[in-house]
Structure formats: C-alpha cells, structure tokens
Amino acid sequence: MGYKQQDIVPLNAAYPDALNPVRKEYAIVPFQVLRTDTGATIKKAVLPADATILGIRMYIQTASNAGTTATVTLTGQGVGPTGATFAFGTFSVLTTGTSLLNTTVNTVTGVFNLERPPAVQTSGDIYIYAQYAETGTASTAGGPFYFVVEYTR
C-alpha cells in the first residue's frame, strides 16, 4: 500500500518555482463595531502571524446620527517578540454604504501586505482593535458597523 513515485505527478511541472510560488489559502474575518464600543482596547479580530492582509471592507446599513462626527478607528497589535503596532485608519460612519479600505491597508507598516513584503510580524497572532467615537450631539441610532478583513497565508 502507499504511493509510488510515478503516482505523484505535479499538474504543472514548472510549478512551484521562484516565479510561481505555492498557492496560498484565502480567508476572511468578519466583525462588527457597536456605538457602545468606545474603549481603546476592544479586540474584534485575531489573524495568524503570517497573514497577508489583502484588504478591509466596511459595510454600514444604519449610519450613526451623531451631531458632528462619528468614526471607527481600527488599530492592530502583534503578539510576540516582533509585536509591532499599526493603525489601519479612522473611518467615518455617518453615511450608509460599502467601502473598500485597501489603500489604507497598503500604507500600514509592520504587517504583511502585497505592497511591501517582507513583513516584520511573523511570530504571534495579530489582534485587531476597533473604537467608536463621536462628537457633537450624542447619537441615538446607528450601527452595528460591519467590517471584513480579507487575508491570505
């Protein structure tokens, strides 16, 4: 029983090589942010250390009705010896709709992304935190605000 060498035939003899690396798995991590999530250390998602973030999507079905501004700030913290901190940005949640936040992700240092390999975070999970903030008249409606982190590893 078992496999013979001739039974193990790659689909493409030129794959993988330096120009065609091994395929990676695609994954998503969805989470929601509530208007009551005003603390700076509210952990919303955990990514593996070797995650390459492809992008973050934001979905707002019910916008905040805060008087002046309403925002969600996404930050991150790596766990382990290279525990870098990073900021994904601050995003307005005053209007409904869908936003692709890729341009923000590509400027974040200290985390794998397609624009600037190699990354520094390679030992320990990556925690993503979210914080809601508003100014002006306090909101009475809005949210939850949905985010989806797309990554590969």
Residue 37 has pLDDT above 80, yes or no: yes
Query: Would residue 104 count as lying in a domain?
Result: yes
Mark out the alpha helices in the chain (DSSP H runs): 102-105
Residue 43 has pLDDT above 80, yes or no: yes
* CA R_g for the chain: 20
Query: Would residue 16 count as lying in a domain?
Result: no
Closest residue by Cα to residue 131 from 82, 99, 87: 87
Domain region containing 37: 31-152
CATH of residue 64: 2.60.120
The answer to whether the CB of 12 falls within 8 A of the CB of 128 is no
pTM of the entire predicted model: 0.77
User: What average pLDDT does this structure show over 55-61?
Assistant: 92
Residue 9 has pLDDT above 60, yes or no: no
Query: Would residue 112 count as lying in a domain?
Result: yes
Query: Would residue 19 count as lying in a domain?
Result: no
Phi-psi region of 7 (alpha: psi -120 to 50; beta: other; left: phi over 0): alpha
Query: Would residue 26 count as lying in a domain?
Result: no
Query: Would residue 47 count as lying in a domain?
Result: yes
Total number of domains constituting the chain: 1
Q: What is the mean pLDDT of the chain?
A: 79
